Amino acid sequence: MDQAFRLQPLLDLARMQTDVAARELGALTTQGMDAQRKLELLLQYRNTCQQQFQEAMRRGVHNTEWRNYQEFMLKLETAIAQQHRVVAGSRERVEEGRRRFSAQQRKLDSYAVLAKRHKGAQALHAARREQKDSDEHAARSGRRRQLHPDNE
């Protein structure tokens, strides 16, 4: 009779934890890409505003427009700096997620190797048992033939 793999519950748990870590890493990666896209949009918007203001400067601007532009650009630069921090934090979380996933994957791989070894040992045991049964059957048949040579 085959013996059950005693570490199967741990293998199943490791598989589940690896799946969870993979989903979390996927979500973190998506969040990171979204944060990077938002930063790129802010940078593009700043460039567009600067170009538009430079064109307006060639035509001439009033002091009020100049002050409004400076205040607006200060707020935009603040938003860009804040988004840079969000992107940096997101990158750190993605790296941490990768480390967690890798650790879980290594654990799963370890249990999978043990399960494979167990399965191999069980198969070897079964093959030996079959060979023993076959040898015993052949020996019984041989003894029967020796005892009753006329039944052949």
- Domain assignment present for residue 109? The answer is yes
Determine, yes or no, domain membership for 150: no
Q: Decide if 42 is inside a domain.
A: yes
Residue 79 lies in a domain: yes
The answer to the question of residue 61 being in a domain is yes
State the pLDDT confidence band at 123, using cuts at 50, 70 and 90.
confident
Q: What percentage of the chain reaches a pLDDT higher than 70?
A: 97
Residue 67, domain member (yes or no): yes
Question: What pLDDT digit, counting tens, does each position of 61-104 carry?
Answer: 889 999 999 999 999 999 999 999 999 999 999 999 999 999 99
pTM of the full structure: 0.72
Q: Is residue 89 part of a domain?
A: yes
Total domains in the chain come to 1
Q: What is the pLDDT of residue 132?
A: 86
- The confidence score (pLDDT) of residue 152 equals 54
Compute the average pLDDT of residues 113-134: 88
- 121 found inside a domain: no
Residue 38 CB-density burial (10 A; 0-12 exposed, 13-18 middle, 19+ buried): middle
Give the CATH number for residue 94.
1.10.287.1700
Q: What is the DSSP string of 112-147?
A: HHHHHHHHHHHHHHHHHHHHHHHHHHHHHHHHHHHH
Local confidence band at 138 (pLDDT 50, 70, 90 cut-offs): confident
Domain with 111 in it:
8-115
Supply the pLDDT for residue 64: 92
Under DSSP, the state recorded for 150 is G
